[in-house]
Amino acid sequence: MLVVTTSDESLDHRRIDARTAGAIRFAVTILVVDLLIVWLIPGKPASFFVSFGVVATLWFMDFSGTASERLRAYTVGLAAGLFGVAIGTLCSGNEAAAIAAAFIVPAVFSFLRVLPGAFPQAVIGVQLGFLLAVLTPAGVHQLVPHLVGWLIGSVIAVLAALAIFPRCQPGRLMFVSFKGSDTRGVSWSSPVVRDCVRIGLAIALAVLVVQIVGVQHGFWVAAVALCVVSTNLTSRGTQHAALDMLVGAVVGLSVSAIAVALLPHAAIFGLLAIAAFISKYEAGRNPFIVQLTYTPFAVFNLAVLQWPDSAVAGDFRVKDVALGVGVAVVATLLVNSQPKEPRAIQAE
């Protein structure tokens, strides 16, 4: 935890650590953006892209460094997110194209984790736009609304990141590499290639399952699968994470679904802000805590965007998480990744 105590800073900056600042930043921004969405474009498909642009930027891509370094990092993340939204939207109308893209895009993004700089930290976040687009039935005519929605949400989030507690950042960027991750002489036995194949296979299987089962909120199946296979690099690790995430989702859903069913719309906005703060504050903990805190936020966010049909918001979560962790485990067992020892390098 980084506590800013420089004497020439304001009282707020001296008393708020980076973790708390990031949680406040995310909660305030997502609440304001969702309020504007409900007021200006209620029920429009683009509304989800605006909201998830904020989530991808401020929840998954909390970059650190100087203002210029962070601006460059967020710009890279925004451009990659727009690329994913475009590919996903263009492929969403064809089932075969959607499955093929669901394998190729995550695999390529995962391969880029070996690059230096900010991109490895943005890998999961920038793929959310692709997953949302490829699992939202649409045609070419929806390409511009999807891109504009993601652009608006991302730009608002970047401005918030640079303006709300700008001096309270989580230290310097942490770069993570793995023994055997050198891209020279890449072959099937390379850990990097096997991980990329495993992640691509998991997302492709998730899209296939969504198409076969007819899941209403297919995005969550793919998003959960991506989180499981991206954060756990061995079969055993994936299985443990899958169980932890499923249990966390069940517990979190038990509370949030009741709240959505019983409380008025205005109260859900208040719960959204609280859940957003808690989920961001606990980000980076073990999979159980992360899923336990993120599930209520996801349910409240969906309920706000889908009102008055938000009574079904809680129904999807356990099934979607179960399907997501299931395909993640299957993909890991099929590819049978070899264990690797992580080696973290702290930037000076």
Helix (H) or strand (E) holding 101: helix 95-111
Q: Which residue has the higher pLDDT, 106 or 166?
A: 106
Average pLDDT over residues 13-27: 81
Residues 6 or more apart whose CB falls under 8 angstroms from that of 65 comprise 73, 169, 172, 173
pLDDT of residue 116: 63
Measuring CA to CA, which residue among 74, 88, 30, 87 is closest to residue 219?
A: 88
296-308: pLDDT as tens digits:
898 899 888 876 5
pLDDT of residue 91: 93
pLDDT of residue 4: 35
SS (H, E, C) 37-75: HHHHCCCCHHHHHHHHHHHHHHHHCCCCCCHHHHHHHHH
CA pair distance 181, 198, nearest whole angstrom:
15
Where residue 49 falls among pLDDT bands split at 50, 70, 90?
A: very high
Where residue 10 falls among pLDDT bands split at 50, 70, 90?
A: very low
Could you tell me if 53 and 153 are in contact, meaning their C-beta atoms sit under 8 angstroms apart? yes
Q: Is the pLDDT of residue 221 over 70?
A: yes
Q: Which residue has the higher pLDDT, 140 or 234?
A: 140
Helix (H) or strand (E) holding 326: helix 315-335
Distance from chain centroid for Cα 52 = 8
Please give the span between the terminal C-alpha atoms of the chain, in angstroms, as a whole number.
17
pLDDT of residue 83: 92
Report which listed range, 64-78, 143-157, 161-175, is most confident: 143-157
Q: Is the pLDDT of residue 341 over 90?
A: no
From 233-247, 256-270, 292-306, the region with the lowest mean pLDDT: 233-247
Average pLDDT over residues 58-80: 82
Measuring CA to CA, which residue among 343, 336, 321 is closest to residue 227?
A: 321
- pTM score of the predicted model: 0.79
Where helices occur in 135-281 by DSSP H, the ranges are 143-163, 191-213, 218-231, 235-262, 265-281
> What 3-state DSSP class applies to 342?
strand
CA pair distance 103, 328, nearest whole angstrom:
13
244-258: pLDDT as tens digits:
877 887 788 778 878
DSSP secondary structure string for all residues of 138-181: --GGGHHHHHHHHHHHHHHHHHHHHHSSTT---SSPEEEEETT-
Report which listed range, 38-52, 181-195, 308-322, 330-344, is most confident: 38-52
Average pLDDT, the chain: 77
162-209: pLDDT as tens digits:
898 876 655 444 333 333 444 455 555 677 788 888 889 989 999 999
Average pLDDT over residues 71-75: 85
Q: Which residue has the higher pLDDT, 67 or 93?
A: 93
pLDDT of residue 249: 76
Percent of the chain with pLDDT strictly greater than 70: 75
Average pLDDT over residues 233-253: 70
Average pLDDT over residues 110-115: 75
Average pLDDT over residues 83-100: 93
Handedness of CA 333, 336, 339, 345 (dihedral sign): negative
Half-sphere exposure of 318 (CA within 13 A, CB side): 12
- Angle of helix 287-306 versus helix 45-55 axis, rounded to 10: 150
Could you tell me if 292 and 252 are in contact, meaning their C-beta atoms sit under 8 angstroms apart? yes
Q: Is the pLDDT of residue 239 over 60?
A: yes
> Torsion over CA of 229, 126, 301 and 325, rounded to 10 degrees?
-10
Average pLDDT over residues 14-38: 88
pLDDT of residue 85: 94
